[in-house]
Amino acid sequence: MESAGKFDYIIIGAGTAGCVLANRLSQDGKRNVLLLEAGGKDDYIWIHIPVGYLYCINNPRTDWMYRTEAEAGLNGRSLIYPRGKVMGGSSSINGMIYMRGQSRDYDEWAGLSGDASWAWDEVLPLFKKSENHYSGEGEFHGVDGEWRVEKQRLSWEILDAFREAAKQAGIPNSDDFNRGDNEGCGYFDVNQKRGIRWNASKAFLQPAAGRGNLTIMTGCQVKKLKIEITDGLKRCSGVEFIGGGKAWFAESSYETVLAAGAIGSPSILQQSGVGNGAHLQQVGVTPVHQLSGVGENLQDHLQIRSAFKISGAKTLNMMVDSWFGKAKIGMEYMLSRSGPMAMAPSQLGAFTRSDANQKTANLQYHVQPLSLEKFGEPLHPFPAFTASVCNLRPTSRGHVRIAGNDPLAAPKITPNYLTTAEDRKIAAASLTLTRRIVASPALKKYAPEEMKPGVQFQTEEELASAAGDIGTTIFHPVGTCKMGRSDDSSAVVDSQLRVIGISGLRVADASIMPTITSGNTNSPTLMIAEKAAACILAFHQK
């Protein structure tokens, strides 16, 4: 095993969180930082063209190509489970939607962690710190950060009509989903810069890459963390990994930070002997430290895709149905960086409540001027739109567990979608609400005809079952290394994101979320990394 050297900090994973951490921890030039990434560079052209997510998801060059186990709540179906496998991680292949969630999310984290610094009023400055928002400096937005936020560079008649229909159905218009209360309907803001994807690698890593105290190694797969035990005390002293056909060891003087995401971080901990001891023994891993919560508490947003055939309005289906249409789209992007090639996967959003008992919005819509049978298949040869809706606060909980002691093998991912009565009830209610919006006067002239799930599903039980047939992940896995109080036996990290019972080791990514945020999870992950970096720097300046 060759030595990669000794570093003050080792960061595992160059996704959204890892890029932020690498920038912040190397900023003052005083500490040596090693950033390890299992994937490659983000130099694939389709990463940077917004519509290119179609060619990045389920592509082994850019995606880990995970799949879920067969899901009972999805009537036995297994889903693709995309995770970014390049610099920038999932920010290189995601939908580019800038979304913080609701203030109640962070206030809840403060209660669950016993640390008031996680409350909304305390984390808002962290969101603003990294932000470069098109609207300018204000109470809720910043302009001096690296994370560029822009308006979308397109509009669609059918989406404008849906927005008006939502208003008629009781969902007010909104021009900003990121002020702590995201209820309303409007176009999403996106992480783009003049019509080009703005991923975490461009924003945070490229400006830091030339620093002499930052070493970046790609194509390096972590085998395990080195956990040393001295007088009963456990400390992470470094990382064993494979890269370039060689076995390596890197030593950390101060800390190792796991930023490999909600799938990668718990998998690395388990491969290192940290987790549920009984499970680890079953798969041939020697337990080193008992933490039963590692890999548990998996939460994700399940989107339920209702599709409607229409007439009298332009949709993407017909625009790409001819070579002339495709050429026109390409020319528009080439000349002005606008049009369909600049599209985020979802353009119009809405947040609302499934019923009057909800204190805040618990449903999110992603509305698209297109339709298809399933991801990866061609668009339908007729005009249509899709209104996907997800339960923002699912009560179903799943898990991520390694299947054996091979660090290169995919873990078993079991989200357990729609396994609680509450989640099934809300799924049915959300489909009913979608029908009510589409039946509003603003959409009448387009004669919408429901294709999915189909008008034959009417009762709550029928609609819940139909949701299992058409529901897909919206790619927001979180919670598998949850943050919690010292008396929470399922917690993996404390409120400073330190792994409980092991010094010199933290987790800083979406896996630490005790509960999922009320919206897209990329920018909350960025905020977590900002907070983690501040905690680490403050601790080692003592």
Please identify every residue annotated as catalytic: 476
Contact criterion met (CB below 8 Å) for 167 and 161:
no
**CA end-to-end distance (rounded Å), the chain:** 34
Q: What are phi and psi of 52, to 5 degrees?
A: -65, -10
Contact criterion met (CB below 8 Å) for 25 and 9:
yes
The whole-angstrom separation of Cα 269 and Cα 281 is 14
The whole-angstrom separation of Cα 390 and Cα 242 is 39
Contact criterion met (CB below 8 Å) for 62 and 84:
yes
Q: What are phi and psi of 319, to 5 degrees?
A: -65, -30
Q: 16-25 and 522-540 are packed helices; what angle lies between their axes, rounded to 10 degrees?
A: 30
Helix (H, G, I), strand (E, B) or coil at 150: strand
Rounded to the nearest 10°, the torsion over CA 86, 2, 274, 231 is -150
The helix (run of H) or strand (run of E) holding residue 141 is: none
The whole-angstrom separation of Cα 374 and Cα 382 is 16
Neighbouring C-beta atoms of residue 421, cutoff 10 Å:
10
DSSP output for 82-133: --B-BTTGGGGTS--B-----HHHHHHHHHHHT-GGGSHHHHHHHHHHHEEE
Identify whether 524 is preceded by a cis peptide bond (ω within 30 of 0). Answer: no
The whole-angstrom separation of Cα 369 and Cα 372 is 11
Structure tokens at 427: 């799924």
DSSP output for 315-378: -HHHHTSSHHHHHHHHHHHHHHS-SGGG--S--EEEEE-SSTT-SS--EEEEEES--BSSTTSP
